[in-house]
Chain A
Amino acid sequence: KQEVTQIPAALSVPEGENLVLNCSFTDSAIYNLQWFRQDPGKGLTSLLLIQSSQREQTSGRLNASLDKSSGRSTLYIAASQPGDSATYLCAVLNDYKLSFGAGTTVTVRA
Chain B
Amino acid sequence: ETGVTQTPRHLVMGMTNKKSLKCEQHLGHNAMYWYKQSAKKPLELMFVYSLEERVENNSVPSRFSPECPNSSHLFLHLHTLQPEDSALYLCASSRERSMNTEAFFGQGTRLTVV
Contact = CB atoms under 8 A, between A and B. Distances in A.
Contact of B104 (A41, A46, A99): A46
Interface of A: 4, 31-32, 34, 36, 41-46, 49, 51-52, 89, 91, 93, 96-103
A52 to B, nearest CB: 7
A51 B56 contact: no
A36 B102 contact: no
Given A36-B105, A102-B40, A96 B97 contact: yes
A28 to B, nearest CB: 15
Contacts of B110: 41
B98 interface: yes
B90 A43 contact: yes
Interface residues of B, number: 26
Contacts of A89: 43
Contact of B45 (A43, A44, A52, A98): A98
B103 A31 contact: no
B91 to A, nearest CB: 9
Name which of B2, B4, B48, B103 has the most chain A CB atoms within 10 A of its CB. Answer: B103
B48 A42 contact: no
Contacts of B69: none
Nearest to A4: B42
B107 interface: yes
9 contacts: A4-B42, A42-B107, A43-B107, A44-B92, A46-B103, A49-B102, A96-B56, A98-B43, A98-B92
